[in-house]
A = this chain, B = another copy of it.
Amino acid sequence: RTSLVRQSGCAQLTFYLTFSVAFLVPYRHMFGPGPSNVPLRILEAGANPVIGHMHPEIFKIMSDIKSGIQYMFQTQNNMTLAVSGTGHSAMECAIFNAVEPGESVLTAVNGIWGERAAEMTERIGARVNTIVTPPGGFFTNAEIEQALSKHRPVLFFLAHGESSTGVLHPLEGIGQLCHKYNCLFLVDSVASCGGTPLYMDQLEIDILYTGSQKVLNAPPGTAPISFSERACQKILNRRTKPVSFFLDLSWLANYWGCDGKLSRVYHHTGPVTAFYSLRESLAVLVEEGLQNSWERHQEVAEYFHAGLESMGLKLFVKPKEARLPTVTTIVAPHGYDWKEITAYIMKTHNLEISGGLGPSVGLVLRVGLMGCNSSKANVDMVLAALKDALKHCHKSKV
């Protein structure tokens, strides 16, 4: 063995020792806001042999994925595919394609996702306006209409499942409002899709995306996305090219067989093993049935929320109907350091729950029970861990 990195003998030895030991990954209860646990059958699907990113078998798998996403999103959109990246890639894919420099965009900010959508939009030189509520809040249709009417955006961004605050945003009527003002409706459902009713077509959502690592229980790395005919029309009639070649919908549409062309041109090397896992995770959803999955998540969430309240803990989101069934936010227990609680539960119970994110930092604890993790047995485990933590962590005399 010859090392060619010029460094001291000692550093070199450390380097070789690092790689001479196989790394160990612990099994952990992944009950934070994601990634969630991945069942063995999905992990194993991803360990199938690598074949070419343009082989017929992969095109068949991609076609299955497309059908599965159409089912999960409740859409008949032809322009339905998975981005070769995580949720943030899908968010950029939506904004990069739907918006041109100088155009006006409206984002609803009631947590971190609206902030990030606004930042992405600014970076490509569009004009951003926001409507803002404190974490835990949401918007009425009247507030949204007022902003649409005032700012006349080409795109309105809203997070359906605001995982940083635990808010499930009502969607009824908003798509129709957007279209009244000739605006596209972009919805982030990374933390909600599959775990709560969501009808893309019926709600007149123009662009919808989610992640692989939440309700779908696949590893992070792919992000389902779908575009309405109205969105496609705007995108196909752009005056400028999207800033990213990698995320350019016209190229992705060809790779995913959505553009009606007979032959597919090499765009990028699709992450084929991640496609295997994603397809398997959609198969799991189809087997259970979407309606059953929605009902299970709701039932488990209500059981969880009742358990929390009976312990004397408070839910961060007050209106029951605005509580995300996949990610629950608990008011950070008074007198405790939330970091000590999450660290104690990780150390003692091998279980991840997390603190807030962005605007909700310090305000909440977050527990995600998504996909296969959404069960009453897991709720019992989390409640026991929380009780144990509140007993053993330091409490100030307040």
A153 in the interface (beta carbon within 8 A): no
Judge whether B221 and A19 touch: CB under 8 Å: no
Judge whether A289 and B16 touch: CB under 8 Å: no
| A residues 17-76 in Cβ contact with B at 8 Å | 18-20, 22-28, 30, 32, 34-38, 43-53, 55, 57, 60-61, 64, 67-68, 70-71, 74, 76
Judge whether B5 and A74 touch: CB under 8 Å: yes
Judge whether B221 and A84 touch: CB under 8 Å: yes
Instruction: Select one of B3, B23, B241, B276 contacting A23, CB under 8 A.
Output: B276
Stretch among A177-185, A226-234, A280-288, A301-309 lining the B interface = A280-288
Closest beta carbon of chain B to A145's beta carbon, Å: 29
| A residues 168-218 in Cβ contact with B at 8 Å | 199, 211, 213
Quick one: given A25-B51, A49-B25, A273-B221, are A1 and B86 in contact (CB under 8 Å)?
no
Judge whether A51 and B71 touch: CB under 8 Å: no
A87 in the interface (beta carbon within 8 A): yes
Chain A binding surface, main DSSP class: loop
Size of interface on A: residues with Cβ below 8 Å to B: 96
A357 in the interface (beta carbon within 8 A): yes
Judge whether A43 and B53 touch: CB under 8 Å: no
Quick one: given A88-B246, A123-B242, A289-B2, are A220 and B53 in contact (CB under 8 Å)?
yes
Instruction: Select one of B5, B19, B123, B211 contacting A244, CB under 8 A.
Output: B123
Name the B residues within 8 Å of A19 (CB-CB).
64, 67-68, 282-283, 286-287
Quick one: given A38-B49, A220-B270, A276-B25, are A244 and B92 in contact (CB under 8 Å)?
yes
A124 in the interface (beta carbon within 8 A): yes
Instruction: Select one of B47, B70, B123, B283 contacting A243, CB under 8 A.
Output: B123
Name the B residues within 8 Å of A135 (CB-CB).
none
Judge whether B23 and A50 touch: CB under 8 Å: no
| A237–B268 CA distance with the chains assembled, in angstroms | 31
A89 in the interface (beta carbon within 8 A): yes
Quick one: given A47-B46, A52-B35, are A16 and B286 in contact (CB under 8 Å)?
yes
| A131–B86 CA distance with the chains assembled, in angstroms | 36
Residue from A219, A352, A357 having most chain B Cβ neighbours under 10 A? A219
Quick one: given A266-B357, A269-B213, A352-B52, are A246 and B89 in contact (CB under 8 Å)?
yes
| A26–B57 CA distance with the chains assembled, in angstroms | 8
| A86–B222 CA distance with the chains assembled, in angstroms | 12
Judge whether B23 and A268 touch: CB under 8 Å: no
Q: Which residue of B lies closest to A120 (CB)?
A: B245
Judge whether A245 and B352 touch: CB under 8 Å: no
A128 in the interface (beta carbon within 8 A): no
| A130–B199 CA distance with the chains assembled, in angstroms | 48
Name the B residues within 8 Å of A74 (CB-CB).
4-5
Which 8 A-B residue pairs are closest in the complex by CB-CB distance?
A: A221-B271, A219-B273, A25-B48, A47-B47, A19-B286, A88-B268, A2-B291, A1-B289
Known A37-B50, A46-B46; 18 more pairs at CB < 8 Å: A1-B288, A6-B76, A7-B76, A19-B68, A19-B282, A23-B64, A25-B51, A28-B49, A47-B47, A50-B213, A86-B270, A87-B269, A123-B244, A219-B271, A220-B271, A220-B272, A220-B273, A243-B244
Q: List 21 A-B contacts (CB under 8 A).
A: A4-B199, A4-B290, A15-B286, A18-B64, A18-B67, A19-B286, A19-B287, A23-B276, A24-B57, A35-B50, A35-B272, A36-B50, A38-B273, A46-B273, A55-B352, A85-B89, A92-B244, A116-B245, A219-B271, A220-B269, A274-B274
